[in-house]
Amino acid sequence: MRTLLVAGAIFVFLCVADIHGDVTTTKPKSQNIDYISLLEKGIANLMSNVSTQGIPNLSDLTSLFPKMDVQNFLKILQRLNVSIPTQSQSYAALNFLNSSLSRLKPIGESIQSSFQASQNYQKMLSPACNAAMGTLGSQLLSQKQWALQMIDSWGKPRAGLLEGNIKWRGMYDECMDTVAEVDGKIAFETNSCGANIPTPLMGPTGKVEIIIGMCLPSACVNGDPYLIADSFLSFIPTTPKLTTNFAWCQTEPDYDLRTTITICVCGAFLALITLATLFEILVVHPYQKNISKIPVLSDITASKPTPEDVKDVKVDIPMKPGVIQTMDHKPAVATKYKGLCSKLLLSFSAWSNGRKLLNAEQAGGSMGAINGIRFFSMSWVILGHTYIFLLLQQAMVNAYPFAKRMLERRTFMVITNGLLSVDTFFTLSGLLLAYVFMKEMKREKGRINWFMFYFHRFWRLTPPYMLVMMLDIVLFRYLGDGPMWTPDGLETDYCKESWWTNLLYVNNFVKTDKTCFGWAWYLANDMQFYWISPVILVPLYFSKKIGSVIAFLFLLGTTIASGIVSKHYELPSTQYSIVPNPHSGAYFNKYYIKPYCRMGPYIVGIMAGYILYRTKGKYKIKPPVNVFIWIVITVVACLVTYGPYEETMGNWMSVDVAALYNATHKSLWGVCVSWVIFACVTGNGGFINTFLSWSPFIPLGRLSYCAYLVHPIIMFVYMRSLRQAVYATDFVMIYLFLGHLVTAYLVAFVVSLAFESPMMGLEKAIFRRGEKKKQ
């Protein structure tokens, strides 16, 4: 905007000057010239001709100004109500003006060149856009409020460019609310656009690229925003010239076939949930209430009945030897709605599922501490993503200094190395699998239904996973708007080429360059570990020695594989550092998401679950030994967490030391988590077990899976809906984290009610899971 105002002032100045002849630096002779009239005529000339005829020839500025003597100069000052200087001061002022004008020649040539380039860009605009921009220009010169509002909403240079404040998005809502009205009619609709401009400036991560928001007529589409941005950049006198490498305009998302199908699927689930809930509340619940009041027979085994036993006995009821049948008022079992159809429908009841999800009663003999570990690990994941997603989306005003300040804090390693939270879940998964598998094998005397072993896992994870992914792919684009919003949604090309890799749980191997639902790499690893787990579990059940040897070989294999991968790609021990590592680009795809590099904590968890099974959750450790083990585990956990601190400061480890860390730290973390669970279950956890087993963590633990599925979607909706970037401080980040955490669990509750709980209910109804165990 400043550039436009300066250019306009020069245009007025030049048009006025074009009326008369040469300017000399000699002492001027007296001429009777009315300069005020000339100024007014020049402005009128600019207003009427500049848009069609352009700027006059600027090849020789010194020939465009009339001669002026002291008398005329004083006359101008008098007309402008300026105090009259002395004659010597007037001569000095005139000489300074003339010498300054002689230096305007190169500036004039530059302006002339810029104006010519701008007109060339203008000729390339589409006819509709050219006409709309012409209307905008004429109304801007007439100072119409709506035209000024459009220009005012443009992004403008802001302070902190070298600190990461490089997204000058302007005022989105001011632009979209503008009504371009000319003579009582709407001339055009407005639209928010943007341009990406590479600069020669260097930032901490390389050359700075600026994004400038533009408010343009909606008729300007395709290449028009690119040309308009370049036409304005041509007026900025830089070497080399600034140009746009890409530009865009916001578009309204279409309601296509995939949207229709998704809405129909969601509608079907909503209808089933509504019908099932009403059926339970209005039909089943009243029936159960009534049937519980009907007296039923109960058997009392007695060799010699007492008077109290037989006081309600009816003489017409056949008596069993040694058994007295009495009438009492214990709740009866309702059998009317126990059929398969009723169970299938009631699987969708929000009333029953909601009560199950929010039930905070601790089942007897269960591992209560696991619920607390689940919740805090999920909170850890969300905390880390709060920081990294905000940085990756470039939604921080002070990105560079804030990131540097955080990485310099040793305590911030809890977030920098927050990737360990995923290894906690791998450990929990292996531990619970081994514990349940061993109990099931014992109950079935060494046999197991392998179909149900794999089907249950697939059915437990896949339906909510696929349904949430469907919502993410199709409906994300309708959830917000703004200058940072992507009208095509969060996923590239709607995952047309890679969605099936998620369904088959191979997305960490296949099409990793076209990932869909990117955070689902964890599910692929977990499922792959589950597929091969019987190779360890079955020998472990029949032979402790053979199973332990196989588990050790697996652990040794994943340790060696991790070290070799890290050594081959010269990977650092952490992805995040003040000084970027040239090899960190391979960290995620080559190491982080590969199962042969991530299975360590899962195997450790399997062994911990087996130990809990063999000890039956009872193993008393002497207090001094217990305290010593807790101290050792705490030290190991701190070394694993804070070990890469020097690398975050740019003091790189050797390739071999980094490879050793990458090969071992995940398994060591699994050992620490396994000890916490073992100590809590066996009564050696003290106040830690009391805290982690707190009853509110039980429903929160149940919701962790759905919270994992939905929390990135929630965070991306927030960040891409921002109108302006966030100035990050400790308080702001804590505030955002708590907001993301609470919102994620609230949405997870709804998703679990709609997708997860009904699928689990259907499985129980069809395969009668749970009933067989009671028999």
Average pLDDT in the 475-482 region?
93
Percent of the chain residues topping a pLDDT of 90: 59
Residue 56, pLDDT above cutoff 60: no
For residues 98 and 447, the model is more confident at 447
Average pLDDT in the 193-200 region?
90
Point out the least confidently predicted range of 230-239, 273-282, 410-419.
230-239
Residue 166, pLDDT above cutoff 80: yes
34: tokens are 């009315």
pLDDT at 82: 60
Please identify which residue in the block is written with the tokens 């260097």: 202
CA atoms in the 13 A half-sphere facing the CB of 678: 27
Distance CA 178, CA 146 (A): 6
Point out the least confidently predicted range of 1-15, 285-299, 612-626.
1-15
pLDDT at 289: 74
Provide Rg for the chain, Cα atoms. Answer: 38
Distance CA 93, CA 87 (A): 10
| Cβ–Cβ under 8 Å, residues 681 and 367 | yes
End-to-end CA distance of the chain: 80
72: tokens are 């005329």
Confidence of residue 617 (pLDDT cuts 50, 70, 90): confident
| Cβ–Cβ under 8 Å, residues 620 and 446 | no
Residue 27, pLDDT above cutoff 60: no
pLDDT in tens, 427-461: 999 999 999 999 999 999 989 999 999 999 999 99
| Cβ–Cβ under 8 Å, residues 642 and 407 | no
Point out the least confidently predicted range of 62-76, 345-359, 424-438.
62-76
Distance CA 674, CA 238 (A): 61
Dihedral pair phi/psi, residue 446, rounded to 5° = 85, 10
* 26 torsion bin: left (phi>0), alpha (psi -120 to 50), beta (else): beta
pLDDT at 243: 86
pLDDT at 86: 64
- DSSP-derived 3-state class of residue 370: helix
Distance CA 149, CA 36 (A): 32
pLDDT at 12: 33
Q: How many CB atoms lie within 10 A of CB 276?
A: 24
Residue 29, pLDDT above cutoff 70: no
E strands present in 25-184: 167-168, 180-182
pLDDT at 262: 95
pLDDT in tens, 76-90: 666 656 665 666 666
Distance CA 430, CA 618 (A): 20
HEC profile for 658-683? HHHHHHHHHHHHHHHHHHHHHHHHCC
Please identify which residue in the block is written with the tokens 């006995």: 313
Residue 8, pLDDT above cutoff 90: no
- DSSP-derived 3-state class of residue 202: strand
Residues in the chain: 775
Name the strand (E) or helix (H) holding 559: helix 544-568
CA atoms in the 13 A half-sphere facing the CB of 310: 12
| Cβ–Cβ under 8 Å, residues 669 and 600 | no
pLDDT at 24: 35
pLDDT at 99: 61
606: tokens are 């399997």
421: tokens are 């939270």
Percent of the chain residues topping a pLDDT of 70: 77
Distance CA 168, CA 538 (A): 61
Average pLDDT in the 235-253 region?
84
Confidence of residue 297 (pLDDT cuts 50, 70, 90): very low
Distance CA 357, CA 173 (A): 41
CA atoms in the 13 A half-sphere facing the CB of 228: 29
Average pLDDT in the 284-297 region?
69
The pLDDT mean for the chain works out to 83
Taking Cα atoms as reference points, which of 591, 688, 760 lies closest to residue 368? 688
pLDDT at 165: 85
pTM of the model: 0.81
Point out the least confidently predicted range of 319-333, 342-356, 743-757.
319-333
For residues 704 and 42, the model is more confident at 704
Point out the least confidently predicted range of 138-142, 503-507, 654-658.
138-142
- CA 275 from chain centre, in angstroms, equals 35
pLDDT at 307: 47
pLDDT in tens, 594-606: 999 999 999 999 9
380: tokens are 């850890």
Average pLDDT in the 329-351 region?
75
Confidence of residue 472 (pLDDT cuts 50, 70, 90): very high
pLDDT at 735: 97
Distance CA 457, CA 429 (A): 11
Residue 660, pLDDT above cutoff 70: yes
Confidence of residue 316 (pLDDT cuts 50, 70, 90): very low
Distance CA 513, CA 498 (A): 10
Average pLDDT in the 311-329 region?
40
Average pLDDT in the 706-718 region?
97
Distance CA 402, CA 729 (A): 8
pLDDT at 184: 87
Residue 679, pLDDT above cutoff 90: yes
Interior/surface letters 102-133, b for 16+ CB within 10 angstroms, e for the rest: eebeeebeebbebbebbeebbeebeeebbebb
Point out the least confidently predicted range of 166-175, 274-283, 309-318.
309-318
pLDDT at 440: 93
For residues 482 and 48, the model is more confident at 482
Residue 634, pLDDT above cutoff 50: yes
pLDDT at 5: 39
Contacts of 254 (CB under 8 A, 6+ apart): none
375: tokens are 């919740």
For residues 318 and 47, the model is more confident at 47
pLDDT at 285: 82
Point out the least confidently predicted range of 164-168, 334-338, 515-519.
334-338
Average pLDDT in the 37-59 region?
48
Dihedral pair phi/psi, residue 493, rounded to 5° = 55, 35
Contacts of 560 (CB under 8 A, 6+ apart): 663
Residue 328, pLDDT above cutoff 60: no
Average pLDDT in the 215-235 region?
88
Distance CA 636, CA 631 (A): 9
